[in-house]
Structure 1
Amino acid sequence: HFRSSIWALMLPPLVLGGMYAGVFTATEAAAVGAIAAALIARFAYNRLAIADLLAAAREAARTTGMLFMILAAAAMFGHVVTVLRLPSELVQLAATYGVGPYGFLIAVMALIFVLGMFLETISIILITTPIVLPVILLLEINPIWYGILLTINLELALITPPVGMNLFVIKGITGAPLSRIIAGVFPYVVIILAGLALVLAFPQLALFLPSTMALGR
Structure 2
Amino acid sequence: MEKASWKHRWMTLRKAVWGGILPILILGSIYSGAATPTESSIIASAYAIVVSLFVYKETSLKLWHKIFRETIGVTAMIMLIIASAMLFSLYLTQEQIPQQLATAMLSMPSLNVVLFFVLTAVLFLVLGTFLESSSIILITLPLLMPIMLSLDVNPIHFAVVMIVNMEIAQVTPPVGLNLFVISGITKEKLGTVFYGAVPFTIVMALCMIIIMIWPGLALWLPDTLFGKS
Same fold, judged at TM 0.5 (above)? yes
> 1:42 corresponds to which residue?
53
Deviation at 1:7, TM superposition (A): 1.0
Deviation at 1:75, TM superposition (A): 3.9
SS of 1:97's equivalent in the other structure is coil
Q: Distance in 2 between matches of 1:30 and 1:46?
A: 21
Unaligned runs of 5+ in 1: none
Q: Distance in 2 between matches of 1:174 and 1:73?
A: 26
Number of residue-to-residue matches in the alignment: 203
One-letter amino acid of the counterpart of residue 11, structure 1 = L
CA contact (8 A) 1:136 1:142 kept: no
Q: Of residues 5, 8, 20 in structure 1, which corresponds to 2:31?
A: 20
TM-score normalised over the length of structure 1: 0.68
Q: Of residues 82, 86, 104 in structure 1, which corresponds to 2:99?
A: 86
SS of 2:85's equivalent in the other structure is helix
Deviation at 1:9, TM superposition (A): 0.7
Q: Which moved more, 1:142-151 or 1:33-42?
A: 142-151
Q: Which moved more, 1:16-25 or 1:63-72?
A: 63-72
One-letter amino acid of the counterpart of residue 68, structure 2 = L
One-letter amino acid of the counterpart of residue 50, structure 1 = W
SS of 1:198's equivalent in the other structure is helix
Q: Distance in 2 between matches of 1:147 and 1:75?
A: 24
One-letter amino acid of the counterpart of residue 32, structure 1 = I
CA contact (8 A) 2:98 2:140 kept: no
One-letter amino acid of the counterpart of residue 69, structure 1 = S
TM-score normalised over the length of structure 2: 0.65
CA contact (8 A) 1:78 1:131 kept: yes
Following superposition, which runs of at least 4 residues in structure 1 exceed 6 angstroms of deviation?
A: 158-164, 172-175, 184-187
Root mean square deviation, CA, Å? 4.2
Deviation at 1:20, TM superposition (A): 1.9
Percent identity of the aligned residues? 22
> 2:22 corresponds to which residue?
11
SS of 2:83's equivalent in the other structure is helix
Unaligned runs of 5+ in 2: 1-11
